[in-house]
Amino acid sequence: MIKIGIIVGSTRPGRNGEAVARWVHDHAVRRGDAHYELVDLKDYDLPHLDEPLAAATGVYEHPHTKKWSETVANLDGFVFVTPEYNHSITGALKTAIDFLFAEWHDKAAGVVGYGVSGGVRAAEHLRQVLGQVKVADVQVGVELLLHTDFENFTTFKPAAHQEDTLGRLLDQVVSWSTALRPLRA
């Protein structure tokens, strides 16, 4: 069965991303079409890049990098849950991607963004970064607006239509992850 990681792209205290990722996970596991797991960047305690060799070498010195590498390598696809900070993704998410290289190759990803503008600029930036590590991003994206999908900008209460969009995103991530499987073999 295809394994999809739902990556919480913020490590900030009080973040909204944890609730959003749980919502994605709850809807995803009910589908029964893949194995879905939450992957929280805060559980990896990745510092700014501290590996002496470039990620493209695949040679990792630090235990945190080896743990992160094993997690990403064992997944077939991803749903990135990311806020928008200053028109981009978080530094923690960019660092997590930059720590690895081959582990990302030939996998699919969808983006669930949130923020004042629905996280659309963060999603655009993330798609560019993912392209560099050979991750195929799917067309459908979920855009959660702080003023309509969060009560008082903090309590996650997604509008009803968001569930349908999430379903279409998951359809694409699963089908693309499946289609790319021969390239990962």
Task: Report pLDDT digits (tens) over 111-142.
Answer: 999 999 999 999 999 999 999 999 999 999 99
The whole-number pLDDT of residue 11 equals 97
Q: Shortest CA distance to 131 belongs to which of 106, 100, 112? A: 106
Confidence bin at 165 (pLDDT 50/70/90): very high
Confidence bin at 185 (pLDDT 50/70/90): confident
Do 19 and 64 form a contact (C-beta atoms < 8 A)?
no
Quote the CATH superfamily of domain 3-184.
Answer: Flavodoxin domain (3.40.50.360)
The average pLDDT across 43-52 equals: 95
Distance, in Å, from the CA atom of 60 to the CA atom of 34, rounded to the nearest integer, reads: 30
Do 112 and 79 form a contact (C-beta atoms < 8 A)?
yes
Extract the runs of DSSP E, i.e. beta strands, from the chain.
Answer: 3-8, 35-40, 77-83, 107-115, 135-145, 150-151, 155-156
